[in-house]
Amino acid sequence: MSQEFIPTRVFYEPGALEYPLGEGLVQRFRHMGIPVSPTTSHNRITGIPGNTAAAQYREAKRTLVIGVRRSQAFQSCKPSAHYQLPLVTSCPGMCEYCYLATTLGKKPYVRIYVNLEEILGIASKLIEERLPEITQFEGAATSDPVPVERYTGSLKQAIEFFGREPNGRFRFVTKYTDIESLLDAKHGGHTRFRFSLNCSEVVKNYEHGTPSPEDRIIAAGKVLKAGYPLGFIIAPIFRFEGWREEYRRLMERTAEELAKRAPSGWSSEQLTLEFISHRFTSKAKANILGVFPNSSLPMEEDERKFKYGQFGYGKYIYQPEEMKEMKEFFLEQAKDYFPLAQVEYFV
């Protein structure tokens, strides 16, 4: 199934027209027959229809906003990187558990920023400030940047920018497989291309509008063949009937595909693995049930352990003995299928 993102409506900030990318995109969407209207700010969009939270969410996910990123500051992105690289906000996927549904409010419309040269200019300065240290940037902290890449080409430009930066490194994560245009980018080994993976059961039930795990694995094989440093985030990990076997098969199939595609001399030492167990906050639960009233996500507080967070809110994680069991299981899988991979964490 094609996961091509074609917005239902497009908004643009008039300032975006001062950039060739912004002007080109407005023309392109008009040409496609998509309603395109101006908006005063990419932060305040009115005109997304829907009478219920669920309808507003769905419509927002089909709305694209072309904006200019004015802020000179990049958010920090501890612990995985030093800074976020703001290219895109939100994504057209509709994963029930997505934390962006909580952080971006009720209408998580997709935003792209057309002043890429200015954004990369800020990245240059930040790299310079930390010399001779290496500075890491994360391109997917508030989005999945791949679905809009076919319109913007921004990810490719960012990858090539970091390819030329001896002291800058880039990383992002995606569930999407429309990555052909990135395969010939001159990445210089400075971008870690990560895929978010989960077993079919989870993708089918909760990750609406995203490619199948099989398609993601095939895309990862192509990325590996293109010489990128590769990584996988297995998340969120759920316990359900047969979870061990499902996750084992996922790891096995991934290893098989990578073995077929790996360039000569590649070893799993160059692979990173991140494991994140499912967790939720009370606020997220309320939001999720507003948008997906029939959600079958396991969110029974009584079954979980409450863990206090830094900012006065806490999250519900699996019970300690369950966590221990899951951690052991995934570390064992990693060892079996990717014996030398760097396991960055299990949380």
Q: Nearest approach, Cβ of 172 to ligand SF4 (angstroms)?
A: 11
Contact code string over 119-138 relative to ligand SF4, x by CB under 6 A: --------------------
**What is the per-residue burial (b if ≥16 Cβ within 10 Å, else e) of 177-204?**
bbbeebbebebeebbbbbbbbbbebbbe
| For ligand SF4, the closer CB: 68 or 94 | 94
Please tell me the count of residues contacting ligand SF4 according to CB under 6 A.
10
| For ligand SF4, the closer CB: 93 or 168 | 93
Interacting span for ligand SF4 (CB under 6 A) from 91-99, 129-137, 294-302, 320-328: 91-99
Interacting span for ligand SF4 (CB under 6 A) from 15-23, 52-60, 86-94, 339-347: 86-94
| Contact residue for ligand SF4 among 7, 22, 93, 168 (CB under 6 A) | 93
- Using rule CB under 6 A, residue 254 touches ligand SF4: no
| For ligand SF4, the closer CB: 22 or 147 | 147
Give the footprint of ligand SF4 on residues 206-225 (CB under 6 A).
Answer: 210
Interacting span for ligand SF4 (CB under 6 A) from 36-44, 93-101, 184-192, 284-292: 93-101
| For ligand SF4, the closer CB: 143 or 287 | 143
Q: Nearest approach, Cβ of 295 to ligand SF4 (angstroms)?
A: 14
Give the footprint of ligand SF4 on residues 172-191 (CB under 6 A).
Answer: 175
Q: How far is CA 17 from CA 56, 100, 122, 130, 227, in A?
A: 27, 28, 21, 34, 36
Let me know if 272 is exposed, middle or buried by CB neighbors in 10 A (0-12, 13-18, 19+).
middle
| Contact residue for ligand SF4 among 25, 95, 127, 148 (CB under 6 A) | 95
Q: How far is 294 from 50, CA to CA, in rounded Å?
A: 18
Q: Nearest approach, Cβ of 332 to ligand SF4 (angstroms)?
A: 26
Interacting span for ligand SF4 (CB under 6 A) from 72-80, 95-103, 236-244, 262-270: 95-103
- Bridge partners, 195 (sequence order): 174, 232
- Using rule CB under 6 A, residue 98 touches ligand SF4: yes
Q: Nearest approach, Cβ of 170 to ligand SF4 (angstroms)?
A: 18
Q: How far is 320 from 190, CA to CA, in rounded Å?
A: 37
Beta-carbon count within 10 A of 312 CB? 6
Q: How far is 272 from 197, CA to CA, in rounded Å?
A: 13
- Using rule CB under 6 A, residue 237 touches ligand SF4: no
Give the footprint of ligand SF4 on residues 12-71 (CB under 6 A).
Answer: none
Interacting span for ligand SF4 (CB under 6 A) from 12-20, 64-72, 88-96, 248-256: 88-96
| For ligand SF4, the closer CB: 80 or 143 | 143
| For ligand SF4, the closer CB: 136 or 174 | 174
Q: Are 22 and 12 in contact (CB under 8 A)?
A: yes
| Contact residue for ligand SF4 among 13, 138, 144, 165 (CB under 6 A) | 144
Q: Which residues bind ligand SF4 (CB under 6 A)?
A: 91, 93-95, 98, 100, 143-144, 175, 210
